[in-house]
Structure 1
Amino acid sequence: MNFRRLLRLRLHPDEYLVQLSWPFTEEKRIKMEKAMQVFEAKEEYFIRNGAILLEKQISCNQGIDIETIRVFSAKDILQATNNYDPDLILGTEIATVYKGKLDDSHKNVLRLNGCCLETEIPMLVFELISNSTLFDNLHGKGKWVPRLISWLDRVRIAMASYAICYMHCGRSRPIVHLDIKSSSIFLDESFSAKLSKFGFAVSIAPGEDFFKCDVYSFGVVLVEVLTDRKPSEMLIRRMNLVDDFVSSMEENCVLQIVDDVVLSQGSNEEIQAFSELALRCAKNQGDKRLTIKEVTLKLMEFKSSISPFLLHYILHK
Structure 2
Amino acid sequence: MKRLAVKRRGIFALNFAVWTLLCIGSIALCLFGCCWVQRKSNLANVRAKHFTKNGGILLQRQFSSLHGSTRSPKIYSTQELKQATNNYHSTNILSSGGNGSVYKGILKDGSVVAVKKSQVVDKSHIDQFINEVVILTEINHRNVVKLLGCCLETQVPMLVYEFISNGTLCEKIHESDDPLERISWQSRFRIAVKTAGALSYLHSSTSTPIFHRDVKSSNILLDKNYTPKVADFGISRLVPLDKTKVSTMVLGTFGYLDPEYFNTGNLTEKSDVYSFGVVLLELLTGRKPICPHSSIEYHNLPMVFLSYVRNDNFVEILDDNVACEGKMEELQAVADLPRRCLRVKGGERPTMKEVKRSLEDLRVFLLFNCDYHLVMAPKRVTRTTSTFPPEIPVTPPETFTPPSESSATPTVSVSADQLQQMLQTMTGILQRGGRNKKAPSGSSTAATGSSVIRSSHRRFM
Separation in structure 2 between the aligned mates of residue 205 and residue 49 of structure 1, nearest angstrom: 22
User: 1:114–1:145: structure 2 CA closer, same or farther, 3 Å change rule?
Assistant: farther
Give the TM-score taking structure 1 as reference length: 0.84
Q: Highest Rg: 1 or 2?
A: 2
User: 1:62–1:71: structure 2 CA closer, same or farther, 3 Å change rule?
Assistant: closer
- The offset of 1:213, in angstroms, is 0.6
- The offset of 1:65, in angstroms, is 5.7
Separation in structure 2 between the aligned mates of residue 193 and residue 221 of structure 1, nearest angstrom: 13
Correspondence 1:117 to 2:152? yes
Separation in structure 2 between the aligned mates of residue 240 and residue 311 of structure 1, nearest angstrom: 37
- The offset of 1:165, in angstroms, is 0.6
Give the gaps of 5 or more residues in structure 2.
1-28, 112-139, 246-267, 375-455
1:194-233 alignment, distance < 5 Å: 194-206=229-241, 207-209=243-245, 210-233=268-291
Separation in structure 1 between the aligned mates of residue 66 and residue 233 of structure 2, nearest angstrom: 25
Separation in structure 2 between the aligned mates of residue 67 and residue 292 of structure 1, nearest angstrom: 25
The question of whether the paired residues in 2 share the 8 Å contact of 1:303 and 1:311 is answered with: no
Correspondence 1:286 to 2:290? no
- The offset of 1:28, in angstroms, is 3.6
- State the percentage of identical aligned residues: 37
The question of whether the paired residues in 1 share the 8 Å contact of 2:165 and 2:223 is answered with: yes
Matched residue, 1:314: 460
Give the gaps of 5 or more residues in structure 1.
1-23
Q: Name the aligned partner's letter for residue 175 of structure 1.
A: I
Separation in structure 1 between the aligned mates of residue 160 and residue 66 of structure 2, nearest angstrom: 22
The question of whether the paired residues in 2 share the 8 Å contact of 1:304 and 1:311 is answered with: no
User: 1:184–1:70: structure 2 CA closer, same or farther, 3 Å change rule?
Assistant: same
**Cα deviation code 1:73-125 (max 9, x no counterpart):** 11110111011111111222121111111224211111111101112221101
2:363 partner SS: helix
Separation in structure 2 between the aligned mates of residue 177 and residue 229 of structure 1, nearest angstrom: 23
**Cα deviation code 1:149-196 (max 9, x no counterpart):** 100110121021111111110023211111111111111111111111
Q: Higher relative contact order at CA 8 Å, sep ≥6: structure 1 or structure 2? A: 1
1:23-34 alignment, distance < 5 Å: 25-34=30-39
Matched residue, 1:277: 337
The question of whether the paired residues in 1 share the 8 Å contact of 2:75 and 2:150 is answered with: yes
1:110 partner SS: coil
Alignment RMSD, CA only? 2.2
Question: Among 94, 99, 102, which residue is 2:104 paired with?
Answer: 99
The question of whether the paired residues in 1 share the 8 Å contact of 2:302 and 2:342 is answered with: yes
The question of whether the paired residues in 2 share the 8 Å contact of 1:187 and 1:194 is answered with: yes
Give the TM-score taking structure 2 as reference length: 0.59
Q: Name the aligned partner's letter for residue 36 of structure 2.
A: K
